[in-house]
């Protein structure tokens, strides 16, 4: 890219370049294998890092009862009438419709004619990315990046999304947002950050982009050589990453080193790659591949054999083709690329038995289209061969598995964390009903009520007593 281009053209190129796609995970030794060393009696953090935490109750001090609705539990069972009982931040039990087996002082919410589901999960977000060409001027500001991210969190939450995986954002913003949401100081979905997107010089998100812009954005870590790729993984782990995000291009040795390092640290790896780079990533043992980008049938079969998942993200490309007429200015998107080819890729993954999750990759201002893009992505799954209930399972249970959180999220079962969506209608029969969000519960707290973000009144802290003379 020439520096002689107009500012508007340079900004447009930057916005194309930062559309970063993928995550990949499988390894010589799986991240989950580290779990065998954990003491089951030791409480740990509710994230893939599993850090020991102080024992004690979590969540609001009350029992919450959702009575009179239909329960779609995300396990694959058909929806049924029932009552969901939540104690503090966990699901206590699911009762048959006629039962009133809960404490007398419980808070009871009537949800008749509504459906209770696990909170939705979005596997592919970039919370700090600029919204418009004008926003690029403010790219170096972490304050601006944080404010953009906070607004995006609200849109996701109001759409019934209770967890997002951020696969590349600026500086420490997503790490801090994760903490604030976790501590219930900020209304939003759980944030599972990757930190910086790791790629090679000239790789995806850096192509045709001036070096100072890459530095300003702060969302990309350029690495060179196996040792530097290992170091880049360690840097994200040091900051607090819940997953590692890699992107082509990379050598065989580089991707192997990064995957091995991530797995030895106990983290999954997701990869944004295309063509033979996907084959390299799968052979290196990644866990997930992002996007519907071209790959051979041999690679797809190897994904199925090795248990490498896919996060297809058709929706951002549908928006690009609809609004831009094509994907331009990117060397990592210079192959046959169309809505038809992408839908064909999703069908090939389905037929091969590759586990597929749901992510939206809504860069720019596209999050303002929510919940439409999320629903459209689920419809893509249905068009490719999933049933409507199976698509919802992909958005909840399967996504939690890819996120490495299926022991705590993704289904409505006793002792799981209380991340719950209540929608008018029957979204397990008609996906459009997912737009009718009535109530959202995250970690036991009611965070959306009547379709609007609900923020509890603060409890005044007593001032310190004046010491006696």
Per-residue pLDDT tens digits for 46-84 = 999 999 999 999 999 999 999 999 999 999 999 999 999
Residues 123-135 have pLDDT tens digits of 999 999 888 766 6
Q: How far apart are CA 16 and CA 35, in angstroms?
A: 39
pLDDT at residue number 303:
98
Spatial contact of 408 and 415, defined as CB atoms under 8 Å apart: no
Least confident span in 153-162, 164-173, 178-187, 203-212? 203-212
pLDDT at residue number 31:
59
List, in sequence order, every residue forming a beta bridge with 399; answer none if it has no partner.
Answer: none
**Residue spans per domain, the chain:** 1-469
Q: How far apart are CA 258 and CA 196, in angstroms?
A: 13
Q: Is the pLDDT at 343 greater than 60, yes or no?
A: yes
Residues 262-289 have pLDDT tens digits of 999 999 999 999 999 999 999 999 999 9
Antiparallel, parallel or unpaired: β 190-193 and 63-71: unpaired
Q: How far apart are CA 418 and CA 410, in angstroms?
A: 10
Average pLDDT, the chain: 90
* Mean pLDDT for the stretch of residues 20-37: 51
pLDDT at residue number 28:
39
Spatial contact of 287 and 245, defined as CB atoms under 8 Å apart: no
Spatial contact of 177 and 146, defined as CB atoms under 8 Å apart: yes
Q: How far apart are CA 391 and CA 412, in angstroms?
A: 16
Correct CATH for 1-469 of 3.40.366.10, 3.20.20.140, 3.40.190.290, 3.20.20.70: 3.20.20.140
Q: How far apart are CA 423 and CA 315, in angstroms?
A: 22
pLDDT exceeding 90 applies to what percent of the chain? 78
């Amino acid at each position: 890219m020439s520096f002689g281009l107009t500012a508007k053209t340079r900004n447009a190129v930057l916005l194309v370049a930062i559309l970063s796609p993928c995550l990949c995970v499988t390894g010589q030794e799986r991240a989950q294998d580290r779990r065998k060393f954990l003491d089951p009696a030791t409480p740990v953090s509710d994230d893939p890092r599993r850090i020991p935490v102080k024992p004690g109750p979590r969540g609001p001090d009350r029992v919450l009862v959702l009575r009179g609705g239909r329960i779609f539990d995300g396990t694959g069972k058909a929806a049924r009438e029932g009552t969901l009982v939540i104690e503090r931040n966990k699901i206590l039990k699911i009762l048959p419709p006629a039962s009133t087996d809960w404490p007398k002082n419980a808070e009871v919410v009537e949800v008749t004619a509504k459906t209770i589901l696990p909170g939705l999960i979005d596997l592919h977000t970039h919370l700090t990315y600029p919204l418009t060409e004008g926003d690029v001027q403010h790219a170096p500001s972490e304050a601006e990046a944080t404010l953009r991210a906070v607004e995006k969190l609200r849109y996701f939450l109001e759409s019934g999304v209770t967890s997002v995986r951020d696969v590349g954002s600026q500086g420490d913003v997503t790490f801090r947002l994760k903490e604030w949401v976790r501590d219930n100081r900020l209304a939003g979905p759980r944030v599972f950050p990757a930190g910086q997107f790791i790629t090679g010089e000239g790789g995806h998100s850096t192509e045709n982009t001036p070096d100072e812009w890459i530095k300003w954005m702060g969302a990309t870590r350029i690495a060179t050589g196996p040792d530097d790729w290992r170091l880049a993984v360690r840097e994200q782990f040091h900051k607090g990453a819940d997953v590692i995000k890699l992107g082509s291009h990379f050598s065989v040795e580089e991707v192997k080193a990064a995957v091995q390092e991530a797995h030895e640290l106990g983290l999954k790896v997701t990869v944004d790659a295309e063509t033979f780079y996907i084959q390299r990533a799968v052979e290196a043992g990644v866990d997930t591949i992002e996007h519907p980008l071209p790959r051979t049938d041999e690679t797809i079969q190897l994904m199925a054999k090795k248990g490498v998942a896919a996060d297809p993200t058709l929706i951002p490309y549908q928006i690009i083709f609809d609004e831009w007429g094509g994907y331009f200015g990117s060397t990592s998107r210079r192959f046959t690329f169309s809505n038809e080819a992408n839908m064909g890729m999703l069908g090939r993954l389905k037929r091969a038995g590759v586990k597929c999750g749901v992510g939206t990759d809504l860069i720019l201002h596209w999050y303002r289209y929510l919940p439409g893009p999320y629903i459209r992505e689920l419809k893509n799954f249905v068009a490719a061969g999933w049933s409507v209930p199976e698509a919802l399972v992909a958005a909840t249970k399967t996504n939690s598995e890819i996120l490495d959180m299926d022991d705590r999220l993704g289904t409505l079962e006793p002792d799981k964390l209380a991340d719950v969506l209540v929608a008018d209608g029957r979204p397990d029969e008609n996906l459009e009903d997912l737009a009718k969000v009535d109530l959202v519960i995250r970690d036991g707290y009611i965070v959306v009520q009547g379709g609007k973000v609900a923020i509890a009144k603060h409890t005044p802290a007593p001032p310190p007593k004046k010491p006696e003379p």
